[in-house]
Amino acid sequence: MTQLMRSWVDSANTAKTDFPLNNLPYGAFHVAGDDLHAGVAIGDQILDVTALEEAGLLDLPAKAVFARGTWNDFMALGADVWRSFRTYLTATLAEGSAEQTTLQTHLVPMADATLELPFTVTEFTDFYAGRHHAFNVGSLFRDPANALPPNWLHIPIGYNGRASSVVVSGTDVTRPNGQLKAPDAEMPVFAPSKRFDLELEMGAIVGRPSKGRVSVQEADDMIFGYVLLNDWSARDIQAWEYQPLGPFQAKATATTISPWIVTKDALEPFRASTPPREKELLPYLQEPGPMLYDIDLEVALAPEGKPETILSRTNYNVMYYSAAQQLTHHTTSGCPMRVGDLLGSGTISGPEKENRGSLLELSWGGQEPLTLDTGETRTFLEDGDTLTLRGAAKGDGYKIGFGDCAGTLRPAPAID
């Protein structure tokens, strides 16, 4: 395991920071209403790479790569540029760098910045690739002996979601209205969702386009980096609408992502293998090596104006299908992938109750209310609740963190 790499930015040299020199994640920010700039997190500072480019300090094969303040144009330059840029950042931010004096003038305190979406999301696909989650949900609504659909152990199941409703951490989420139907009711009603939920996920960002089918290794090479992802879900809307075509409005309210893209290079020391297969996968889905990551994850809920309770702790390494396998399967139909496509992993739940990544599982469909540290109970989310996802890969004296992925639930709009 690699050790903490020391930087001349003092706040990066602590085990507490999410953003040591080993990490260097990519984000987008503005200060006091200024234009959007691309930045790199280092300790409690942001290195303004848009300003570096404007000052002629970056050696890139194209001009105005960071002019829009997001990372799509940089991703499109390809993996060789990704690596050389990261090498440049690591060297110039390292302790003893001759570039310290120059780069210091382009640091912005993170506390002074407003973080925005770090890339423009071109398409969003959400998967259902966690075995424990799939088994729990199947057990809730079917016989546990037949909890998994017949195809589940053979194929990473997914659906095409809405890129337009992907938002950055800190954005409020409004409880949706929709059609609801009680099991014993003759007709549905149009009303606010009463069973609004979270889903603890990781998001993989496609940095290279594809035409035609790609292998698992090629898919892994296409992935630029990862974010935390909360795919907010209206369970009661979903229960009425999902037959026969699957989720629609139940998943369209919002998908919150963390503000920093953690690169695949930063996560490389934390590679992990998928679990043993219960049924052998078809050759095109078999992995040439470890494609998951050892990333500790947690979910916290804070009622309005009150302290938070940790609801769940789990790890990304429990997933049955990796992002590379999901991306490979996505291309089998000839579906082209584009720079900026976002793939949600599916809910990440572990084997024990305290490892479950949704309230649907934690409260067992509302039958087992959770008691918060404040003494209140929850089956599903209440207005004013703030959900925060956190994640970090743990190294020797350092961690590779993502920053908080948080959102506060606000009341549904009035129905005319």
| Residue 1 confidence (pLDDT) | 60
**Mean pLDDT, the chain, as a whole number?**
97
Segment 171-195 shows an average pLDDT of: 96
Q: How many CB atoms lie within 10 A of CB 115?
A: 20
Q: pLDDT for 225-249, tens place per residue?
A: 999 999 999 999 999 999 888 899 9
User: Hey, what amino acid is at 364?
Assistant: W
**Comparing C-alpha atoms, which of 29, 119, 130, 105 is closest to residue 74?**
119
| Residue 297 confidence (pLDDT) | 98
Given the structure tokens 């049924």, which residue do they identify? 279
| Residue 245 confidence (pLDDT) | 87
Which positions ≥6 away from 125 have C-beta within 8 Å? 158, 159, 160, 161, 326, 330, 341, 342, 343, 344
The band of 261, judged by pLDDT with boundaries at 50, 70 and 90, is very high
Given the structure tokens 């309210």, which residue do they identify? 253
**Comparing C-alpha atoms, which of 119, 53, 116, 64 is closest to residue 89?**
53
Q: pLDDT for 343-393, tens place per residue?
A: 999 999 999 999 999 999 999 999 999 999 999 999 999 999 999 999 999
Walk me through the domains of the chain, giving residue ranges and CATH numbers.
10-116 (2.30.30.230), 124-410 (3.90.850.10)
Tokens found for residue 402: 């993502």
Q: pLDDT for 110-163, tens place per residue?
A: 999 999 999 999 999 999 999 999 999 999 988 888 899 999 999 999 999 999
Which positions ≥6 away from 404 have C-beta within 8 Å? 169, 258, 388, 389, 390
Q: pLDDT for 38-52, tens place per residue?
A: 999 999 999 999 999
Q: List Cα–Cα distances, 292 to 116, 208, 270, 274, 358, in angstroms.
A: 27, 19, 8, 6, 21
The band of 279, judged by pLDDT with boundaries at 50, 70 and 90, is very high
The residue count of the chain comes to 416
199 Ramachandran zone, left/alpha/beta (phi>0; psi -120 to 50): beta
Yes or no: say if 406 and 301 are a contact pair by the CB < 8 Å rule: no
The band of 33, judged by pLDDT with boundaries at 50, 70 and 90, is confident
Catalytic residue among 37, 106, 133, 329: 133
The pTM is what? 0.97
Residue 329 annotated to the active site? no
The band of 416, judged by pLDDT with boundaries at 50, 70 and 90, is confident
Rg of the chain on CA atoms, in Å:
21
Given the structure tokens 């992925």, which residue do they identify? 405
Q: pLDDT for 308-324, tens place per residue?
A: 999 999 999 999 999 99
3-state secondary structure the chain: CCECCCECCHHHCCCCCCCCCCCCCEEEEECCCCCCEEEEEECCEEEEHHHHHHCCCCCCCCCCCCCCCCCHHHHCCCHHHHHHHHHHHHHHHECCCCCHHHHHCCEEEHHHCEEECCCCCCCEEEECCCHHHHHHHHHHHCCHHHCCCCCCCCCCCEEECCHHHEEECCCCEECCEEEECCCCCCCCEEEECCCEECCEEEEEEECCCCCCCCCHHHHHHHEEEEEEEEECEEHHHHHHHCCCCCCCHHHCCCEEECCCEEEHHHHHHHEECCCCCCCCCCHHHCCCCCCEECCEEEEEEECCCCCCEEEEEEEHHHCCCCHHHHHHHHCCCCCCCCCCCEEECCCCCCCCHHHCCCHHHHCCCCCCCEECCCCCEECCCCCCCEEEEEEEEECECCEEECCCEEEEEECCCCCC
